[in-house]
Structure 1
């Protein structure tokens, strides 16, 4: 079992939430490697800054590759509420 630092742990969680591991396995591995480098560089601020800058760039690209969520926006909420109202009206009209 590999113990991850704070940055690596957060990046791993974000990558899982983005659901991009299958689409860009190399970039996800690079992001985790860079995150580990940020965690492992407490005594070398220059190395930490370089790794952090590259990590931001890789994560920006991974976020752009993430599939767009289609459920949960305001339009979906309005459509769901409308459907509930229509169903209730149908039941009232049918005498239920």
Structure 2
């Protein structure tokens, strides 16, 4: 089972926001470490709530994924063919 720090670091890496918002990324890791620590339940509850808010902010800063599927590829090829036909 992974720790909260590992899971948070993986999410930050997946979102590719570590370089754009290093302070928020570090805060998220610090809060995750608090959750993994031996602090009391109240401290962990507060850290969990704050971690959720920080991760939400990081998700908003994440670049939009540019995933394409087979239909997108076919549409692009079709449009490219139309452009070439207009030029001919």
**Shorter-chain TM-score category?**
0.7 to 0.9
User: Any runs of at least 4 consecutive aligned residues in structure 1 with deviations exceeding 2 A, and if so which?
Assistant: 81-84
Structure with higher Rg: it is: 1
TM-score (norm 2): 0.78
Unaligned runs of 5+ residues in structure 2 are 82-88
Give aligned pairs, total. 78
RMSD: 2.1
Give the number of the structure with larger relative contact order, counting CA–CA contacts within 8 Å between residues 6 or more apart: 2
Question: 1:15-67 CA deviation, whole Å, 9 max, x = no partner?
Answer: 000000111000000000000001103x5111100000000000000000000
Unaligned runs of 5+ residues in structure 1 are 88-96
